[in-house]
Amino acid sequence: MAEDLRTSRPPGGSLSGLTDDEARDFHRVFMSSFIAFTIIAIVAHVLVWNWRPWIPGTAGYPVASAQVSAPAVATNR
């Protein structure tokens, strides 16, 4: 019968092949990178929300639509 991969361990005791210290170091770097990425993403979302909210109020986007004027049309008569 096939061995269950969750219970079988290669020689050395780790499925990844890393020692405990290497695994801890990798986990530390991974978590630090993940937290930094998450903080940058949150800051970016807050800045974009301040620039242009993606859930408009009851008046819609009055500031954005007030700044847009009708295009000038040239007529050749």
pLDDT in tens, the chain (77 residues): 455 655 666 666 678 889 999 999 999 999 999 999 999 999 999 999 998 887 877 776 665 555 556 666 667 76
Q: Tell me, what's the pLDDT at 24?
A: 96
Q: Tell me, what's the pLDDT at 15?
A: 87
Q: Tell me, what's the pLDDT at 62?
A: 63
Pinpoint the alpha helices (H) of the chain: 20-51, 62-66
The four Cα atoms 47, 48, 52, 55 give a dihedral, to 10 degrees, of -110
Q: Read off the pTM.
A: 0.57
Q: Tell me, what's the pLDDT at 71?
A: 64
